[in-house]
């Protein structure tokens, strides 16, 4: 397979995954923004959304004020923001077009149809119900694309590279939300436990579509250390770091088997997976949650670079 084709498939999946993540952040933020001030807390939830999306610096280069209108525009519709939902879909579609023959008809339909609809929103609606409709559309399009890939692609390198994109991006996103919000999860805050924390935790879980999952897994009210466990170590949870790495290691192994050659990417992915498997939440808290997350982010970036060197160029 052409390295460029693999690269396109990988980034195509990454951009769709990123668009979905940004849509979830916006949806969760809109939700918390409708709460009375006393519940939402004193911090600006719109600034928090920018940080979670990893777009704060880019945003403040253009805007002074992080409010609903500006942040929604910037994260959802902006053509200047390379991580905006619109931009993600545009790039994804350009990539899809370049590798049209490596995609199934269903995948192309999903992405092309989504792009035409998203483009139809133009510079973005003002009304909240319109924004909400947009955010639903983005999430449904991502699900449709992902489902089409899962159900229609041959299980060969094209499929495995597109899966690698999904899980690299997902691991990156979950790590970023942990990085931005880790202070909410520190045991020191446990005593607060008021409605304020509840809504912040719930927003965080919604951003990675894990609120319902939390209740199913723990059958408890929200506890910060359990949230951390869910997002980092729990391999039942599709967006946890552990689950992402299980998938990364497996897909890399499939590629290695098909090509008859193991490489540094396989070794790195296995090492990170082993560390996640062998960790316990209390130990992570003891040695420092923030340090753990920082280290993970660095490892994850390193793996991304290794995959690119080994296969994509």
Which residue among 60, 150, 216, 259 contacts another protein (CB under 8 A)? Answer: 259
Query: Interface with another protein by CB under 8 A: which range of 4-12, 168-176, 242-250, 292-300?
Result: 4-12
The answer to the question of residue 308 lying near another protein (CB under 8 A) is no
Interaction residues for another protein, span 139-158 (CB under 8 A): 157
Residue 65 exposed, middle or buried by CB count within 10 Å (0-12, 13-18, 19+):
exposed
Element (H, E) at 312: none
Q: Whose CA is closest to 142, among 185, 107, 116, 176?
A: 107
Min separation Cβ 23 and another protein, Å: 23
Closer Cβ to another protein, 145 or 214, answer by number:
145
Binding mask 84-113 for another protein (x = CB under 8 A): ---------xx--xx-xx---x--xx--x-
Which structure tokens are listed for 230? 């869910």
Burial 286-304 (b: 16+ CB within 10 A, else e): eeebeebbeebbebbeebb
Min separation Cβ 174 and another protein, Å: 27
Which structure tokens are listed for 106? 């269903």
Number of residues that bind another protein (CB under 8 A): 24
Which residue among 6, 88, 171, 241 contacts another protein (CB under 8 A)? Answer: 6
Q: Are 177 and 208 in contact (CB under 8 A)?
A: yes
Which residue among 77, 121, 161, 201 contacts another protein (CB under 8 A)? Answer: 161
Note the residue count of the chain. 313
Q: Whose CA is closest to 230, among 202, 269, 251?
A: 202
Closer Cβ to another protein, 37 or 313, answer by number:
313
Interaction residues for another protein, span 211-250 (CB under 8 A): none
Count Cβ atoms below 10 Å from residue 255 Cβ, excluding itself: 24
The answer to the question of residue 252 lying near another protein (CB under 8 A) is no
Binding site for another protein (CB under 8 A): 1-6, 93-94, 97-98, 100-101, 105, 108-109, 112, 157, 161, 255, 259, 261, 311-313
């Amino acid at each position: 397979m052409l390295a460029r084709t693999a690269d396109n498939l990988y980034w195509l999946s990454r951009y769709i995954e990123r668009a979905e993540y940004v849509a979830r952040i916006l949806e969760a933020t809109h939700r918390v923004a409708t709460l009375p001030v006393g519940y939402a807390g004193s911090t600006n939830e719109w600034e928090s959304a920018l940080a979670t999306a990893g777009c704060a610096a880019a945003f403040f280069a253009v805007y002074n004020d992080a409010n609903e209108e500006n942040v929604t525009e910037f994260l959802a519709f902006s053509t200047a923001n390379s991580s905006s939902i619109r931009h993600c879909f545009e790039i994804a579609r350009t990539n899809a077009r370049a590798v049209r023959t490596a995609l199934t008809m269903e995948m192309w339909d999903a992405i092309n149809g989504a792009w035409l609809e998203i483009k139809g929103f133009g510079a973005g609606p003002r009304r909240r119900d319109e924004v909400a409709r947009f955010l639903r559309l983005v999430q449904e399009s991502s699900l449709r694309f992902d489902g089409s890939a899962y159900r229609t692609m041959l299980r060969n390198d094209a499929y495995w590279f597109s899966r690698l994109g999904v899980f690299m991006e997902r691991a990156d996103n979950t790590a970023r939300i942990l990085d931005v919000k880790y202070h909410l999860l520190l045991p020191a805050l446990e005593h607060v436990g008021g409605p304020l924390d509840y809504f912040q935790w719930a927003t965080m879980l919604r951003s990675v579509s894990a609120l319902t999952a939390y209740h199913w897994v723990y059958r408890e009210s929200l506890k910060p250390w359990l949230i951390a466990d869910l997002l980092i170590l729990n391999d039942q949870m599709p967006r946890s770091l552990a689950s992402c790495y299980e998938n990364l290691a497996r897909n890399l192994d499939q590629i290695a088997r098909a090509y008859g050659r193991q490489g540094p990417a396989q070794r790195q992915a296995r090492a990170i997976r082993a560390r996640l498997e062998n960790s316990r939440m209390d130990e992570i808290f003891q040695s420092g949650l923030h340090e753990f997350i920082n280290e993970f982010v660095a490892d994850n970036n390193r793996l991304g670079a290794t995959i690119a060197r080994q296969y994509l160029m």
